[in-house]
Amino acid sequence: MRRPLLFLVFFLIPLVSWGGGPILVDTDGDGLPVAWKDGIIHFNTESGDLGRLSNEEAIQMLRDLLERWREVTINGVSTVDLTIDQGAGLGDINEENIDDFFAYCPPDEVCASEDPPFVLGSARSGQSPIIFDTNGEITDLIQGEGAKRSILGFAGPRVMDIVDGKMVITEGQAVLNGYFIDCPEGASAGHSCQNVEVSLAEFEGVIFHEMGHFIGLDHSQVNLTAAIHALNGQADELNAIPTMFPLFVDGVAQGTPHFDDQVAVSELYPSDSFRSEFCAITGTVYESDEVTPMQGVNVVASNLDNQLEEATSFVSGSYYTGTVGSCDNQSGGYTLGGLIPGVSYQLSIEKISQAFTGGSSVEPCDPPASGFTAAVIAGTFSCIVGGETVQNGSSGTSDIVTTKSSTSTGSTGGGSSGASGGCSLLPSP
């Protein structure tokens, strides 16, 4: 089994995160996703190096990865409308001045915060700091001693504001851990560098994931079985694993956005073409009484001709207002967008793995919902022209997906705890 290395999503915001889409939903307001104001992603970098990368090389890598999100296409069509804005540099950031730039609450301390929209410490500065943690010392300071050996990076929004009645992101922050790329190129790990290295290509895949969090994307559970197979050495399904999957499975493969990632970023920052040239399937997940909406069920739409690489998900009840952190909200709606006209899709429902909790969660309820059976929904679903929303599938299907109260079955996967607070937990084989 491969060594579990951690992604970490770091957001100190009392809102909800969900899978296959945005990291934040305004549960106190309109119950809709929260994106960067005007679709402009602001960031400010420090002047330090990142492992063996110079400051210039690290900044260029960062820009390239943010552009990779901006340049997403589906079926050859540009589907994302966002702008990348690099602000002024921050100078050197270290343990002595970290409080001036990074908003966090040290372990075992109680930290005051403002009323929502959430702001903590030095946030609301007009800056969105991205720290190049050359040797992992900043990671240890923020996440606890020894964290640098397991956490490759963490990122997320840090300030939200209400603008014209809508909640938006105005600041973000990130730490990229150079501890894993500190060996000179071609050198073996030894006395001059630490013992567990990842290649630059793998590291870029991790940072691509973290920049997904930075721009507002959450984790996603699509093709869990393929990920478990890959962790056990079966590499034939690597292309089925989304970038925003909570596990570091293969940094190179996850450095390319999966269909699920493409849909997620397009839903959050849609171009006109995304809305006009693609379709959506919408419906509701109900309890077995077929009356009570059920929250926290992972609904997956997959292309019948390419079920692993063209699948996208939505956790039922992700858009809602009310109490955060449980599955008690009677909200079971789902919308699966980015679907290609003329293509037949199959719907299925599944549980989120019980390994994905806390910072690794991929739904609006933690722990994940249970007490229902994974199932494939009868029939197929398709649309004819772009812009269509399908509420009823082909003959014999409907928009009601009924779950059953039963013992947990289906694609769940066990879990080991890994490092506390990480956004990546390793499933058992």
- Asked whether the predicted pLDDT for residue 117 surpasses 60, the reply is no
Residue 192's pLDDT is 57
Residue 370 vs residue 349, higher pLDDT: 349
d(CA 131, CA 355): 29
Q: What is the DSSP letter of 190?
A: B
Determine contact, residues 177/136, Cβ cutoff 8 Å. Answer: yes
Residue 197's pLDDT is 83
Per-residue pLDDT of 250-270, as tens digits, reads 889 999 999 999 999 999 999
Per-residue pLDDT of 81-103, as tens digits, reads 999 999 999 999 988 898 888 88
Residue 149's pLDDT is 87
292 Rama sector, left if φ>0, alpha if ψ -120 to 50, beta otherwise: beta
Per-residue pLDDT of 356-405, as tens digits, reads 877 777 768 888 888 888 888 888 888 889 998 887 443 333 344 554 33
Residue 329's pLDDT is 82
| DSSP helix/strand/coil, 272 | helix
Please state the three-class secondary structure of 92-109 as a single string: CCCCCCHHHCCCCCCCCC
Candidate from 125-134, 145-154, 190-199, 215-224 with smallest mean pLDDT: 190-199
d(CA 72, CA 65): 11
145-179 burial by CB neighbour count: b if 16+ within 10 A, else e?
eebbbbbbbbbbbbbbeeeeeebbbbbbbbbbbbb
Residue 19's pLDDT is 42
Mean of pLDDT values over 131-160: 90
Per-residue pLDDT of 181-216, as tens digits, reads 988 765 554 445 655 788 899 999 999 999 999 999
pLDDT band at 113 (very low <50, low <70, confident <90, very high): low
In sequence order, the 6+-apart residues with CB closer than 8 A to the CB of 140 are: 146, 147, 148
**Residue whose tokens read 């630490």:** 194
Determine contact, residues 154/141, Cβ cutoff 8 Å. Answer: no
Q: Is the peptide bond before 33 cis (omega within 30 degrees of 0)?
A: no
pLDDT band at 47 (very low <50, low <70, confident <90, very high): very high
When the pLDDT of each residue in the chain is averaged and rounded to a whole number, the result is 81
| DSSP helix/strand/coil, 137 | helix
C-beta neighbour count of 38 within 10 angstroms? 9
The fraction of the chain above a pLDDT of 70, given in percent, is 79
Is the C-alpha dihedral spanning 412, 418, 421, 422 positive or negative?
negative
Residue 405's pLDDT is 32
Determine contact, residues 162/115, Cβ cutoff 8 Å. Answer: no
In order of 91, 142, 208, 340, 423, the CA distances from 153 in angstroms are 20, 11, 10, 34, 10
292-314 burial by CB neighbour count: b if 16+ within 10 A, else e?
ebbbbbbbbbbbeeebbbbbbbb
The enclosing H or E element of 172 equals strand 166-177
Residue 275 vs residue 421, higher pLDDT: 275
Mutual orientation of helices 55-70 and 200-214 as an angle, nearest 10°? 60
Per-residue pLDDT of 149-180, as tens digits, reads 888 999 999 888 889 999 999 999 999 999 99
In sequence order, the 6+-apart residues with CB closer than 8 A to the CB of 245 are: 219, 220, 221, 222, 223, 227, 254
Residue 29's pLDDT is 87
Per-residue pLDDT of 280-324, as tens digits, reads 998 888 888 888 888 999 999 999 999 999 999 999 999 988 877
* pTM as predicted: 0.86
d(CA 295, CA 327): 6
Mean of pLDDT values over 111-122: 58
| DSSP helix/strand/coil, 279 | strand
d(CA 282, CA 298): 13
Residue 264's pLDDT is 96
Determine contact, residues 294/403, Cβ cutoff 8 Å. Answer: yes
